[in-house]
Amino acid sequence: MDWISNAFDTLQLLLYENVVQPIVFGLGFGNLLEDAFDATGWLLWGLIQIAVLLLGIGLLERRWPVEPVTDRAAVRTDVVYTLIHRLGLVRLVMFFSIQPLWDGIAGQLRLAGLPTWQIDGLWPGVTDVAWVSFLVYLVVFDFVNYWLHRAQHQFNWWWALHSLHHSQRQMTMWSDNRVHLLDDVLMATVFALLARLIGVEPGQFIAITVITQLHESLQHANARIHFGRWGERLLISPRFHRRHHSIGIGHETNGRGTLGGHNFGVLLPLWDQLFGTADFQHRFDATGVRDQLPEEGGHDYGRGFWRQQWLGLTRLAASFRKVV
Q: Hey, CA dihedral for 227, 228, 233, 239, is it positive or negative?
A: positive
- Residue 93 phi, psi dihedral angles, 5° rounding: -60, -40
Model confidence pLDDT, tens digit, residues 227-255:
998 999 999 999 999 999 999 888 998 88
The answer to whether 197 and 205 are in contact (CB under 8 A) is no
Label residue 185 by pLDDT band (50, 70, 90).
confident
Query: Any residues with CB less than 8 A from the CB of 157 and at least 6 apart, and which?
Result: 316, 319, 320, 323
**253-274 mean pLDDT:** 93
Helix locations, the chain, DSSP H: 2-15, 21-26, 33-52, 58-63, 72-86, 89-97, 99-111, 130-154, 156-166, 181-198, 202-219, 228-234, 238-245, 270-274, 305-323
- Predicted confidence at residue 156, as pLDDT, reads 95
- Predicted confidence at residue 147, as pLDDT, reads 98
| Selection from 45, 35, 53, 34 nearest residue 11 by Cα | 45
- Predicted confidence at residue 324, as pLDDT, reads 47
**Residue 99: other Cβ atoms inside 10 A:** 15
**272-278 mean pLDDT:** 97
Q: Which residues of 16-41 are buried (b: 16+ CB within 10 A; e: fewer)?
A: beeebbeebeeeeeeeeeeebbbbbb
Which neighbouring-strand residues pair with 246? 287
Which of the 8 DSSP states describes residue 179? -
Burial classification of residue 174, based on how many CB atoms lie within 10 Å of its CB (0-12 exposed, 13-18 middle, 19 or more buried): buried
- Predicted confidence at residue 207, as pLDDT, reads 86
- Given phi > 0 = left and psi -120 to 50 = alpha, else beta, which region is 20? alpha
> Quick check: helix, strand or coil at residue 287?
strand
**64-91 mean pLDDT:** 91
Model confidence pLDDT, tens digit, residues 108-146:
766 776 666 677 766 666 666 777 888 889 999 999 999
- Predicted confidence at residue 103, as pLDDT, reads 67
| Selection from 206, 223, 182 nearest residue 53 by Cα | 223
- Predicted confidence at residue 10, as pLDDT, reads 87
**Residue 141: other Cβ atoms inside 10 A:** 22
Calpha distance 259→322 (Å, rounded): 15
The answer to whether 212 and 117 are in contact (CB under 8 A) is no
The answer to whether 80 and 178 are in contact (CB under 8 A) is no
Calpha distance 184→188 (Å, rounded): 6
Label residue 15 by pLDDT band (50, 70, 90).
confident
175 vs 102, higher pLDDT: 175
Model confidence pLDDT, tens digit, residues 85-105:
888 766 666 555 555 666 676
